[in-house]
Structure 1
Amino acid sequence: MQTQKARKLLMIPGPIEFEPAVLAALAEPTPSHVAPDFIEVFGRALDNLRTVFQAPDGQPFVMAGSGTLAMEAAVANLLEPGDRVLQINTGYFSDRMAAICERSGALVTHVPAPAVGDAPGLAEVERALQQDRFKLMTITHVDTSTAVLTDVAALAKLARSAGALSVVDGVCSVAGEALPMADWDVDVALTASQKALGAPPGLALVMARPRALEAFRRRTRPVASYYADWSNWLPVMQAYQARKPAYFGTPAVNLVLALDVSLAQIIAEGMEARVARHARLSEAIKAALTALGLSQVPLRPAVAAHTLSAPYFPAGVDGAALLGKINAAGVILAGGLHPALRTRYFRIGHMGAVNAADVLATVGAIEQGLHGVGYRFDAGSGLAASQRVMQGQAGHPPFA
């Protein structure tokens, strides 16, 4: 049996560390999916998702599945063969979204970043929109492979002006980055439970606003994916919101119980405060990496995500050995994912329940790992840089 002391801190870009109350919900006796108490919980969770997505006019969908299912459900219900999609490409998961769109018969045009670690310029996107008529613009808010953040507000505005629906992959951003759907006029946003939403893996979540639902209702062919078809899920979601029983596929009931707890915690924190907290934790991590002489995949601060960081391994350092040393120091980090530089960098997740103590423990483990592989640096420089951010010496008030 593993003791609490033996447990390592999980600081990857999902799954993340979870609050004890969220984990406790998983241990509740499993209820019937049509039991009155569960109907109330599920209905409340759906209502609270509107608050978290900041989409009072949105229709939430919660399905058992991964973030990839959420991606498919978001676009498969809107696309028919021959439709055109403009993909704003910032990495591995942008490529995945394009592949999903192509499976629905869409014709995909990519607007690539000028380099790995950057985001396409708005002028380039505008030029692409002038070349054709697109039904969707798909945007990866934070690409988990590159830690690149896109300007969703500006991109959604461009999409609207060109008559395209905006679909935002928020798997690594929702509840960690600013994404006020209604204010930014985003048509669809999607995420998964195991990232900044702070619930265990297994739930795919989509929020569709009125224009997207209208486009879905106007389609002329059945949705190619039976499981992801909103025709099957919409009556179920609406029934639970009305506190009535319904069935299409059995929901992951204990995960919904956990989601309900997590959403209540997020709303109690407040969306503005939560986004600000993620920004500060990110700044503390990135300040430490800079102090330690580690460059990062995002090429400039404006495109650097606040939910994860992606530092390069130091020159001459064996990346696998470094991650092993960090693991031995008590913190689990993730290796690279983008195929162009997979072995050259690693990834640190800092979202959801992660707090200042977790960040300092992570920086300390990175310092210990760097020392263990023979990298030369000023001992404690990373921790000191993080502490300066935490103590309000970098232009912010100190953490409470």
Structure 2
Amino acid sequence: MKVPYIMTPGPTEVCENVRITRSLQFTNPDLDLQFYEFYRETCERIGRFLKTNNEVRILNGEGILGLEAACASLTEKGDRVLVIDNGIFGEGFADFVRMYGGEVVFFKGDRERDIDIEELKRFLDKDSNFRYATIVHCDTPSGVLNNVSQICPMLKEKGILTVVDSVAAMGGEELRVDDWRIDIALGASQKCISAPPGLTILSISEDAFKSMKNRSTPIASFYCNLLIWEKYYENKWFPYTQPISDIMALRVAIDNILSDKKILERHKNIAEATRRSIKESGLELYLKEGYCNNVTVVKIPDGIDDKKLRDYMLEQYNLLIAGSFGYLGGKVIRIGHMGENARVDKVSYTLAALQKSLDHFGFMCKCNIASCFLKEF
């Protein structure tokens, strides 16, 4: 198998020290008490990364597990849940809410920009009777970044618990869980964290735990029940066998992030240079505003098939970028410059390959995209 360069918005490239750690000999995570210390210490490091004193857990499943677990643990039949929607994943929260018997109420935003704070405020002034609300920090199909630093405090002032899907944002965009009053913050290993896919990370506030404990009905799941983790350390008991190699690798990836003092600046500089070079080339960005620094979403020029373009880039340049799906399927391509992909050499190579591939299909750029990008550094 020939492994391509993966410049997708997750999974991302994984550092050598993370890959090596994942291959090391491991112990029995259920019986060896050392691992309970290792797991707790890893959660504490994640807490520093998330700027939170809340409880942190690592779940054995890709990031979608975290989204479902939050909804399963908080939702009772008939609960009104506010789903803040300006993208595919934002809307998708509704499926999990309904699955566990909740009543979905949407706040619909413009899908070409971030959520309008004033519009949301007016909405909440009229109706704030919700058990919790969901919001996606970065909705990767479109690349939009929502201002959870303003949205979550506004919700909490109305007595609404806050659930934030930051899977694609945390690590490349600022995230301050406690300062922004986030009750459940959700992330995953395979995006900006740059570890192998397969793990969810999340923080859980006291308010969220209280809501779960005060339910009138049991949580209708075992694997998605966040309460089963509450006393794991005191009882020296995990609810299921932990993927110890993945957690060992995750810890190294988290340490890589904590030691990189300019990680947010690096993502910002690369994202801005990428967007400027794309616009100078004559290509069009999908969003009007509200850009995330972790992914750039570009409209496909008329007459070019997105799959053929991406297949050509893979065949000719061993480079994998992403299309999109849902209402954006076939209309855009996505370049992931997050985590270990947010490096000048990797992005410049991607832009050069994109330009040559567009030339092949008849679209002539107005500038050398890679050169336009590199002049910013």
Interval containing the TM-score (normalised by the shorter chain): over 0.9
Q: Which residue of 1 aligns with 2:176?
A: 180
Structure 1 position 341 matched with structure 2 position 325: no
- State the distance in 2 between where 1:259 and 1:174 align: 14
Identity among equivalent positions (%) equals: 27
Displacement of 1:189: 0.5
Alignment of 1:79-228 (within 5 A): 79-114=75-110, 116-129=111-124, 130-228=126-224
Structure 1 position 304 matched with structure 2 position 301: no
Displacement of 1:170: 0.6
Q: Which residue of 1 aligns with 2:259?
A: 268
The one-letter code matched in structure 2 to 1:324 is D
Contact 1:169 1:191 in 2 (8 A): yes
Q: What TM-score does the superposition give when structure 1 sets the normalisation length?
A: 0.89
Structure 1 position 361 matched with structure 2 position 352: no
Structure 1 position 295 matched with structure 2 position 279: no
Write out per-residue CA displacement over residues 84-115 of structure 1, whole angstroms, 9 at most, x where no aligned residue: 1111102111122111011121111111123x
Q: Which residue of 2 aligns with 1:48?
A: 45
Write out per-residue CA displacement over residues 107-135 of structure 1, whole angstroms, 9 at most, x where no aligned residue: 11111123x32233222212322224111
Contact 1:325 1:368 in 2 (8 A): no
- State the distance in 2 between where 1:299 and 1:51 align: 33
Q: Secondary structure at the match of 1:279?
A: helix
Displacement of 1:325: 2.3
Contact 2:195 2:253 in 1 (8 A): yes
Aligned length: 373
The one-letter code matched in structure 1 to 2:56 is P
Q: What are the ranges of 5 or more consecutive residues in structure 2 without an aligned counterpart?
A: none
Q: Which residue of 1 aligns with 2:247?
A: 256
The one-letter code matched in structure 2 to 1:305 is C
Match of 2:339 among 352, 359, 374: 352
Contact 1:64 1:252 in 2 (8 A): yes
- State the distance in 2 between where 1:193 and 1:383 align: 29
Contact 2:128 2:158 in 1 (8 A): no
Please tell me the root mean square deviation across aligned C-alpha atoms, in Å. Answer: 1.6
Displacement of 1:73: 1.3
Q: Which residue of 2 aligns with 1:388?
A: 375
Q: What are the ranges of 5 or more consecutive residues in structure 1 without an aligned counterpart?
A: 392-400
Displacement of 1:265: 0.8
Q: Secondary structure at the match of 1:334?
A: coil
Displacement of 1:37: 4.3
Displacement of 1:330: 2.7
Deviates more, 1:349-358 or 1:324-333: 324-333
Contact 1:112 1:119 in 2 (8 A): no
Displacement of 1:144: 1.4
Displacement of 1:227: 1.0
Contact 1:73 1:206 in 2 (8 A): no
Contact 2:128 2:160 in 1 (8 A): no
Contact 2:171 2:192 in 1 (8 A): yes
Q: What TM-score does the superposition give when structure 2 sets the normalisation length?
A: 0.95
Contact 1:141 1:149 in 2 (8 A): yes
Q: Which residue of 2 aligns with 1:284?
A: 273
The one-letter code matched in structure 2 to 1:313 is I
Q: Secondary structure at the match of 1:186?
A: coil
Displacement of 1:36: 4.3
The one-letter code matched in structure 2 to 1:362 is T
Contact 1:86 1:134 in 2 (8 A): yes
Displacement of 1:9: 1.2
Q: Which runs of 4+ in 1 moved over 6 A?
A: none
- State the distance in 1 between where 2:169 and 2:366 align: 33
